[in-house]
Amino acid sequence: MTPAPVSRDAAAPIVRELSALRAQLAGWKRAGQTVGVVPTMGALHDGHLSLVRAAKADCDRVIVTIFVNPKQFNSPEDLANYPRTEVEDARKLGPLAVDAVYVPGGDQIYPDGFCTTVSVAGMTDVLCGAHRPGHFDGVATVVTKLFTQTQADRAYFGQKDYQQLQVVTRLARDLDLGVTVVGCPTIREEDGLAMSSRNLLLSDRARVWAPELHRAMEEMAEGLLAGGDAGVLRRAAEARLLRTGFTDIEYFDLRACADLALMSRADRPARLLAAAWLAGVRLIDNIAVG
Ligand code: PAF
């Protein structure tokens, strides 16, 4: 009998138990296949899908993980409001033919009595780390678990969370986890807004204003390349954002790519990084300067 054709609309296969994931991994590892992982918290958008495509291009097997990690949220409201769209996520992943979507319950990641924290010193004290105490400990802890649970050879992260990418790269090296961390370009909407699961929380009005963050960053980058001072340009950018409707600019910094040190002029490889609140939603973005 001819097998039924696989529907392009079929949802990707979901695995919820670590034991089931391990059983699959054992077969793949026995066959000498490479495993790529794309860690996510769901509410998948084209940015995530671009990470999956990069993983598919490099690896024999690809696992997407979906876990809304309570340890990286600073407030119970933020955790409760985080968008959860599992059925839609599995449907979006179907056409990409990933090998497994690992959606662990909390007990699979943090079993009873769990009391280990992975903490990356130094680079987590600034930017998002300064405004979200404990956030990067939560990220580092869950990412370490996801790397070891999936036994991944390669892991794919977006450059949109630039500081997170640095933290994860550092911990993989420091702990000899045997996984290569791959940073992939930020994917943007047509109006420049960086794709983010949190964009789903923006009201229609706020969605119209949101791309101003990226525009202000582009303008500041131009000013820096023309030899401008970061402090002066930052004040102009912040004023522009406040006029648009942003309420709180947490940071709008020029920082060295190598170690995230604060810079006043773009005289070595640098990134402009920003976090700002718009109508109750925290947006972050970053761009290369020069
Ligand atoms: O970037 C995210 O979605 C999360 O911080 C991550 C890496 C999946 C860890 O929970």
pLDDT in tens, 168-209: 999 999 999 999 999 999 999 999 999 999 999 999 999 999
Q: Which residues pair with 286 in a beta bridge?
A: 273
The phi, psi pair for 6, rounded to 5°, reads -75, 125
In this structure, what DSSP letter does residue 122 have? S
| Residues 216, 2: Cα–Cα separation, whole Å | 58
C-alpha 128 to ligand 1 mean position (Å): 14
C-alpha 12 to ligand 1 mean position (Å): 20
DSSP string, 216-270: HHHHHHHHHHTT--HHHHHHHHHHHHHHHTEEEEEEEEEEETTT--B-SS--SSE
Q: Which atom of ligand 1 is nearest to the CA of 39?
A: 8
Closest CA to ligand 1's atom 3: 40
* Predicted confidence (pLDDT) at residue 4 exceeds the cutoff of 80: no
Tokens of 68: 């809304």
Q: Which of 24, 25, 35 is nearest to 60 (CA)?
A: 35
| Residues 226, 286: Cα–Cα separation, whole Å | 19
In this structure, what DSSP letter does residue 188 have? B
- Give residue limits of the domains in the chain: 14-184, 197-289
Mean pLDDT of 274-282: 97
Q: Which residues pair with 271 in a beta bridge?
A: 255, 288
Mean pLDDT of 105-116: 98
Annotated binding site: 41-48, 72, 158-161, 164, 187, 195-198
Res 258: pLDDT: 85
Mention the CATH class of domain 14-184: alpha beta
Q: Is 69 in the pocket of ligand 1 (CB under 6 A)?
A: yes
C-alpha 74 to ligand 1 mean position (Å): 14
Annotated binding site for (R)-pantoate: 72, 164
In the block, which residue shows the tokens 């949190």? 198
For residue 48, indicate whether it is catalytic. Answer: yes
Domain 197-289 falls in which CATH fold?
Pantoate--beta-alanine Ligase; Chain: A,domain 2 (3.30.1300)
Confidence of residue 290 (pLDDT cuts 50, 70, 90): confident
Q: Is 66 in the pocket of ligand 1 (CB under 6 A)?
A: no
Could you tell me the pTM of the whole model? 0.95
| Residues 103, 157: Cα–Cα separation, whole Å | 18
Confidence of residue 8 (pLDDT cuts 50, 70, 90): low
Tokens of 55: 């993983």
Res 172: pLDDT: 98
- pLDDT, tens digit (0-9, with 9 covering 90-100), for 240-262: 999 999 999 999 999 999 889 99
| Residues 290, 34: Cα–Cα separation, whole Å | 35
Q: Which atom of ligand 1 is nearest to the CA of 72?
A: 10
Can you tell me whether residue 180 is helix, strand or coil? strand
